[in-house]
């Protein structure tokens, strides 16, 4: 199942009386698709998509990001993602000031990286804890493609045990 299937599901939702809540620029698109899919077992392929981020809405912390995504056909949505394969320091519930500072540094690193990026691609996977989609993010900047998790790990932004 690919992106065409996702758009078919969106069409089915639209045809089932959600039209007033559902338009090309509606930021609740993925939530509507998730509601539609509740109770249906979906294969791994049905949850793996690559989207182009048209806007970085918010860098919540070093491993949680909110993007506006292009779904194609002039459709966009806003979705929160958690980066896969990394745990960065907490900002909202840090154990102490050292973790808070390290978390803010990780967030600021990402904000600086995204500033002036040529392209940001989000490859989504299944939903994780707290209902966030898990994702791999690649950033193209100055002609180079970077894996965000790799950059964070190389920059020393993984959560430490000894704060």
Q: pLDDT tens for residues 124-138?
A: 988 777 767 899 999
Q: Which domains does the chain have, with CATH numbers?
A: 44-154 (2.40.50.90)
Beta-sheet strands, E only, within the chain: 49-61, 64-72, 75-83, 119-127, 133-141, 144-147
Helix (H/G/I), strand (E/B), else coil: 14: helix
Residue 111, token pair as written in the block: 């904000």
Q: How far apart are CA 64 and CA 81, in angstroms?
A: 6
pLDDT at residue 16 greater than cutoff 80: no
pLDDT for the residue numbered 47: 67
H or E stretch covering 154: helix 148-154
Give this prediction's pTM. Answer: 0.71
- Reported as a single tens digit per residue, the pLDDT across 79-96 is 999 999 999 999 999 999
pLDDT for the residue numbered 45: 46
Residue positions counted in the chain: 163
Neighbour-count burial of 124, counting CB atoms closer than 10 A to its CB (0-12 exposed, 13-18 middle, 19+ buried): buried
Tokens 């909202």: give the residue: 92
């Amino acid at each position: 199942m690919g992106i065409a299937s996702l758009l078919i599901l969106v069409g089915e939702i639209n045809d089932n009386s959600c039209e007033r809540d559902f338009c090309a620029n509606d930021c609740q698109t993925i939530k509507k698709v998730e509601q539609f899919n509740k109770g249906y077992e979906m294969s791994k392929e049905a949850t793996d998509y690559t989207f182009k981020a048209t806007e970085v809405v918010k860098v919540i912390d070093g491993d949680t990001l909110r993007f506006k995504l292009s779904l194609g056909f002039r459709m966009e949505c806003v979705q929160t993602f958690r980066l896969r394969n990394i745990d960065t320091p907490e900002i909202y519930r840090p154990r102490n000031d050292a973790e808070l500072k390290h978390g803010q540094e990780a967030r600021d690193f990402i904000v600086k990286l995204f500033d002036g990026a040529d392209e940001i691609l989000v490859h989504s996977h299944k939903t994780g804890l707290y209902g966030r989609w898990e994702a791999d993010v690649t950033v193209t900047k100055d002609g180079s493609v970077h894996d965000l998790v790799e950059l964070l790990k190389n920059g020393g932004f993984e959560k430490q045990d000894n704060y």
